[in-house]
Structure 1
Amino acid sequence: MRAVVAHAVAMTAAFAAGAAAVRLADVPRLRRLTDDLQRSRERILTAREEERRRLRRDLHDGLGPTLASLAMSLDAARITLSGEPERMEPLLSDLRDRLATTVGEIREIAHGLRPPSLDDLGLVAAIRTLAERACPQVEVRFDGEPDDLPAAVEVAAYRIVEAALANVRQHARASTAMVMLSRDHDLHLMVADSGVGLPEPMRRNGSGGMAEMRELAAEVGGSCTITSRAGCGTVVSARLPLPGRRYDRPGTGRAADHER
């Protein structure tokens, strides 16, 4: 009996030691994941604050003075109308041109906040419009229901596809490309082309919007991977979580069986 108990104790100790070793081996990997997550959050926050700063500068230093100047010009035109009506034509023509320029600036600011085509056309049609300029033949498919997507997910999906198709147009020299979107508990998207692949410097330093695509996905809690090999084309894949789904742990992509 004592021998059995001693053997059991020894087995338990060995199992505990093995489990402890596994946990210790996981510590460096968990630290790397934590550091990567922290750096990603810092980049997202920095990009967001820079965008807010740019928007404030555009409104305060650009659009604000322009509108004030137009108001002063209208006052001058009113005075001219009462005293020298024959001079009104050039004044009104100048005002019209400046108003057109101001409207263009407002549209540019609005586009930076949310692409107007998403509201005018919807996500799928807006992506088809992007695809028309990418290469000679682009197929766009959506499996699932594109309506009622969260606004942040819509914008992230559009911007990721926009950056991926820009690379197709500028670097891939591809004759065909495909944009596939599907929706279940997440929104999945893939942009693949038949081109020559991204240039080596871009693959090495992550330029060409690759960091931006990853950060767009991370900002809504998702992930984005870019795979490119010389002569084998490029594949951009992203997973963008939708509300109402929880994941067991970051980076696994495995959904929990039950909501808690």
Structure 2
Amino acid sequence: MNDSVPAAPPAASSLRLVRYALHGAFYALLAVALAPAVLGPDGRAALLPGTLLGLAYGAGALRARRAARARTGLWLAVLTALWLAGLLLDRGFSYVAFPLFFLHLHLLPVRRSLPAVAAITGAVVAAQAAGPGGLTAAKVIGPVAGAAVAILTAYGYAALYRESSRRQRLIDDLVRTRDELAAAQREAGRLAERQRLAREIHDTLAQGLSSIVLLARAAETADPDAPEAVRARVREIGRTASDNLAEARRFVHALTPPALDDAPLPEALRRVTARTVPGAAFRLDGDPCPLPVDTEVALLRLTQEALANVARHARAEHAAVTLTYLGDQVALDVYDDGVGFAPAAGSASAAAGRRTFGLHGMRERIADLGGTLTVESAPGEGTAVAAVIPLGAAGARGGDPRPRASASPQAEGVHP
């Protein structure tokens, strides 16, 4: 059993219900004990200690969770003394012994709570024995059985609390381990992809550029009286540059998400919306036009991240994705009417932390394209994520629009 009442139980609502039930039982049994004094002339002397007992219990119960252990022990001693005074004046106070059992068992360590329960049980037996009929087996069995029930209940509660706390710790460890494993896997994937691209660039583009440099130097040192040799060098430079341009486009195509391989951006966003948040709406405004690859990838990734947050955290009834072509810029809006969060809270909670971390990365990606990303949300008010990318800036930073299947790399190569 715990030495004292836990300060932060895992199931706060259930424990509050238990405390309220204990408070209600105390006052109900105290009312039963004081009923003869209130309704008739018998037991009027017990009215004063009974009233003081009720007031002391109420005052202490309001401060018990914030009080120090020494002050809690003093409060419990005062309650016990007032109860004994009432018991000496009226045997009806024997009913109040049952909630006192629980108070001693929960607020005192085991080495003190069990002797206190035994003493209270003895006082009840003595008070009952002093009444009509003297000491009988029923007057002993009743209080002892009540004490035994209280002890077993308190021990059972303590065991359930320890088990609940242990399970909560295990759940927290599992969640933390899962997040660490996911982060490690993402980092390993990034490193592997970086190494793969480094090898590819070294074996193709870097070698091709080195060849171009060597051919250019050879052309510079060629005999000016042999123009055919110079033209041959220049043609070789053109072929090498064309081959490297094709390799560069192959890299860009390999980095393009599969969702954009066989569909334009609006259709890809429509599919992602329907797949990630069933029932979410997708709207297209304006006339679609070809966008640079980086811009399309950024808008697709932003939609995936925002909709994943909606599915995991928002508990929304409605969500909508809007892609708008505005001539000189493209805008993307993702809205949901869910529980929302506080964007400025940072790491105030784990969930909010995971949500803002992903959006922070997307904000940097959009900023690299010359655009802006705005997140508007508040607890209970839903969330709106809006990105705007100027097409001029996107074209300058993101390269030429995505080549179509009919485009020929050789046709756009460098020729003399």
Cα distance between partner residues in 1 of 2:354 and 2:268: 30
Quote how far apart the aligned CAs of 1:182 are: 0.9
Q: Which residue does the alignment assign to 1:47? A: none
Quote how far apart the aligned CAs of 1:198 are: 3.5
Quote how far apart the aligned CAs of 1:52 are: 7.5
Q: Is the CA contact (8 Å cut-off) linking 1:164 and 1:191 kept in structure 2?
A: yes
CA deviations on 1:183-229 (whole Å, 9 max, x unpaired) are: 12110111000111147625568635110120111010101011111
Q: Output aligned runs, 1:66-145, within 5 Å.
A: 113-145=255-287
- Tell me the amino acid that sits aligned with residue 368 of structure 2: E
Structure 1 pair 59–223 and aligned structure 2 pair: CA distance change class (3 A): closer
Q: Is the CA contact (8 Å cut-off) linking 1:133 and 1:169 kept in structure 2?
A: no
Structure 1 pair 172–212 and aligned structure 2 pair: CA distance change class (3 A): same
Cα distance between partner residues in 1 of 2:338 and 2:277: 10
Q: Which residue does the alignment assign to 1:227? A: 376
Which of these residues, 156, 177, 180, is aligned with residue 319 of structure 2? 177
Q: Unpaired runs of 5+ in structure 1?
A: 1-49, 62-108, 246-260
Which of these residues, 195, 202, 219, is aligned with residue 338 of structure 2? 195
CA deviations on 1:56-97 (whole Å, 9 max, x unpaired) are: 434689xxxxxxxxxxxxxxxxxxxxxxxxxxxxxxxxxxxx
Structure 1 pair 205–172 and aligned structure 2 pair: CA distance change class (3 A): closer
Cα distance between partner residues in 2 of 1:205 and 1:162: 15
Q: Is the CA contact (8 Å cut-off) linking 1:167 and 1:208 kept in structure 2?
A: no
SS class of match (1:120) = coil
| Percent of aligned positions that are identical | 40
Cα distance between partner residues in 1 of 2:362 and 2:371: 11
- Tell me the amino acid that sits aligned with residue 318 of structure 2: T
Quote how far apart the aligned CAs of 1:111 are: 9.3
Q: Is the CA contact (8 Å cut-off) linking 1:136 and 1:175 kept in structure 2?
A: no
- Tell me the amino acid that sits aligned with residue 175 of structure 1: E
**Higher helix share goes to which structure?**
2
Structure 1 pair 158–207 and aligned structure 2 pair: CA distance change class (3 A): same
Cα distance between partner residues in 2 of 1:244 and 1:213: 17
Quote how far apart the aligned CAs of 1:54 are: 3.8
The structure having more radius of gyration, on CA atoms, is 2
Q: Is the CA contact (8 Å cut-off) linking 2:309 and 2:355 kept in structure 1?
A: no
- Tell me the amino acid that sits aligned with residue 306 of structure 2: A
Q: Is the CA contact (8 Å cut-off) linking 1:143 and 1:182 kept in structure 2?
A: yes
Which of these residues, 283, 289, 309, is aligned with residue 147 of structure 1? 289
Cα distance between partner residues in 1 of 2:191 and 2:323: 33
- Tell me the amino acid that sits aligned with residue 387 of structure 2: A
Q: Unpaired runs of 5+ in structure 2?
A: 1-187, 200-250, 343-347, 395-416
Cα distance between partner residues in 2 of 1:204 and 1:144: 35
Cα distance between partner residues in 2 of 1:204 and 1:53: 24
Cα distance between partner residues in 2 of 1:60 and 1:226: 35
Cα distance between partner residues in 1 of 2:353 and 2:197: 37
Structure 1 pair 179–195 and aligned structure 2 pair: CA distance change class (3 A): same
**Higher strand share goes to which structure?**
1
SS class of match (1:167) = helix
